[in-house]
Amino acid sequence: MKIAQVNTSFIKWLSAEEMHNDSKEWLIDLEFLNDEYLFFEDLIKWNTLQLIDFQAYSKSKEFIEILSNSKKTNDKLIELVKKHKNGLEVLVDVKDEPKKEEAYKTEHKTVLVLFKNHLKEHRALKLNLFEILKKIKKTEKGKRIIDVE
């Protein structure tokens, strides 16, 4: 994943240990999101017919593509965070390399922004999926009540 320039002047400087801990937490969160993606895929498989009945096929397909793209972004972020975590050596070695250290700190802030944005997009995706499924279940329940009477 390519890192774009991000204005991160509002983020405080962190110690090497804090940045290492951040990277570990990001990896844990991103790996959890991978599990959530598997759950979402299962939900969609279990409700495929209802999903197509509820909304147009093209709209359902678009949602699945968004989910797929989000999963790919998550995988790229995992690789980026792993690479970033391995680059921490620049800060803890005995060599004095201020330019490399500054570049690493700037990269850390950029990765933080990418991570936060991805989490925000993931939450929106999850809310959208659950809203759709909630409406499907309400519709199904209404049909069952009518059929029973």
Q: What is the pLDDT of residues 75-132, one digit of tens each?
A: 999 999 999 988 877 666 667 777 887 888 888 899 999 999 999 999 999 999 898 8
- Report how far residue 65's alpha carbon sits from residue 68's, in angstroms, rounded to the nearest whole number: 5
Assigned token pair, 108: 């850390």
* Model pTM score: 0.78
Could you give the C-alpha distances from 63 to 40, 67, 69, 75, 108, in angstroms and in order? 11, 6, 10, 19, 31
Assigned token pair, 42: 């299962």
DSSP conformation letters of 39-71: HHHHHHHHTHHHHHHHS-HHHHHHHHHHHHHHH
pLDDT band at 136 (very low <50, low <70, confident <90, very high): confident
Assigned token pair, 148: 């029973």
Residues 38/72, Cβ–Cβ less than 8 Å: no
- Domain-wise residue ranges, the chain: 16-148
Residue-wise pLDDT for 29-75, tens only, equals 999 999 999 999 998 888 887 777 767 677 778 888 999 999 999 99
Higher pLDDT, 145 or 61: 61
